[in-house]
Amino acid sequence: MKILENISLKPYNTFGIDVKARRLVLLEPGDDVPPLEGEVLLLGGGSNMVFTKDYDGTVVTLAHIHHSTFNIQHSKVTAWGGMVMDDLVQWSLDHGLYGLENLSAIPGTVGASAVQNVGAYGAEAKDFIESVEAYDLKERCRCSFSNEECRFAYRDSMFKHYPNRYLILYVTYHLHKEYVPNLSYKALEGLPHDTARQLRDSITAMRWQKLPRPEEHGSAGSFFKNPVVDEATYRRLKAEYPDMPEAHKASEGYKLSAGWLIDRAGWKGRTQGRAGVWPKNALVLYNAGGCTGDEVRALAAAIQDDVKHKFNITLTPEAIII
Ligand code: EPU
């Protein structure tokens, strides 16, 4: 365990925003969670956080370990919450376990994959999560949750409804021994997929075409959630904008493309202050060079107002603004 005082959080958030935390506790596998006083912020990979000011409390995070301690039984793999998610995807394919290939190149950690129920290209973490082991900061004990108890939904879980309460230590994924490609997502049509490795490589390449290179520009991936609307709203918009992509019909309703709405509203490639809208993907806000959290927040608010005005649709950030 490492405890650092008055430390910059720049390396701990993918937007690369330079704020300070009063204290940072970095845990490694096997460490006990120390007593924590005052305000506590649990941080995963920091790939979904926008800091607007210094944090006057204790940030708790798990060491990002590339090869974590695994417990593998049959096709169930238990991984350290601080492990980089993409390393787990790679590891699983190397060990003949399939399913996670569609989640290739998603930023963030294994722990965050459960909190956020990360998803891409027709798969979501919840499709594979068997259970989650967490430390409950309120009750001060370790506890375990089944998939059902996690109450997963689109970019959502029970953990999001109790912010800063559960520190996710381990996630157990139930994978497949046989590779059955999941090509349900439209953009995957025609991609090489003979092996899981090929599909992973194709997906990785496709993602990187649309996202800024982290070493060049910080970002939080998709900044907004895709809005879910009722059928009447979808029909109204589709009649008015025939070029709008088909909505994806989910159990919650019709999922529109936030990226398209922002693009169509004319925001793609624009900057405001030192924050910008990525020229190749309007769903991604990025750090155009030393930006502050307030600049990101102002840009996000301007986009939300404009999309509301033009389409009467409310965009909700996927990223958390602190
Ligand atoms: N589009 C535009 N302009 C843009 C961006 C998108 O017209 O600037 C259109 C695309 O042409 C397409 C549609 O919008 O017709 C949807 O775009 P895409 O297939 O790229 O996916 P998305 O809905 O924008 C979601 C996830 C991504 C995930 C992809 C692929 C959310 C908020 N985002 O994006 O997740 O990788 O699907 O499955 O659900 C993330 O959460 O950080 C993330 C990257």
Find out whether 87 and 77 touch, Cβ atoms under 8 Å.
no
pLDDT of residue 68: 60
pLDDT of residue 139: 93
- d(Cα 181, Cα 198) in Å, to the nearest integer? 10
Catalytic residue among 92, 131, 155, 157: 155
In 3D space, the residue among 100, 71, 85 whose CA is nearest the CA of residue 179 turns out to be: 100
Residue ranges of alpha helices (H) inside 58-135 are 85-94, 110-116
pLDDT of residue 24: 95
3-state secondary structure of 269: coil
Probe residue for ligand 1, chosen from 121, 257, 268 as the CB with the greatest number of ligand atoms within 8 Å: 257
In 3D space, the residue among 152, 151, 150, 144 whose CA is nearest the CA of residue 169 turns out to be: 144
User: Looking at ligand 1, which atom is closest to the CA of residue 48?
Assistant: 42
Distance 257 CA to ligand 1 centre (A): 6
Task: Give Cα 307 to chain centroid, integer Å.
Answer: 23
pLDDT of residue 143: 97
Ligand 1 close to Cβ of residue 211 (< 6 A): no
pLDDT tens-digit profile of 241-266? Answer: 999 999 988 778 999 999 999 999 99
Active site residue 92: no
Probe residue for ligand 1, chosen from 156, 252, 260 as the CB with the greatest number of ligand atoms within 8 Å: 260
pLDDT tens-digit profile of 109-138? Answer: 999 999 999 999 999 999 999 999 999 999
Ligand 1 close to Cβ of residue 45 (< 6 A): no
Q: Which helix (H) or strand (E) holds 210?
A: helix 196-210
Ligand 1 close to Cβ of residue 225 (< 6 A): yes
pLDDT of residue 310: 96
- Burial classification of residue 252, based on how many CB atoms lie within 10 Å of its CB (0-12 exposed, 13-18 middle, 19 or more buried): exposed
Ligand 1 close to Cβ of residue 318 (< 6 A): yes
The residues of the chain scoring below 50 in pLDDT are none
Distance 210 CA to ligand 1 centre (A): 9
pLDDT of residue 248: 85
In 3D space, the residue among 132, 131, 87 whose CA is nearest the CA of residue 109 turns out to be: 87
CB atoms within 10 A of CB 235: 13
Provide CB contacts within 8 A for 318, sequence distance 6+.
48, 116, 155, 220, 221, 222, 223, 224, 225
Residue ranges of alpha helices (H) inside 118-195 are none
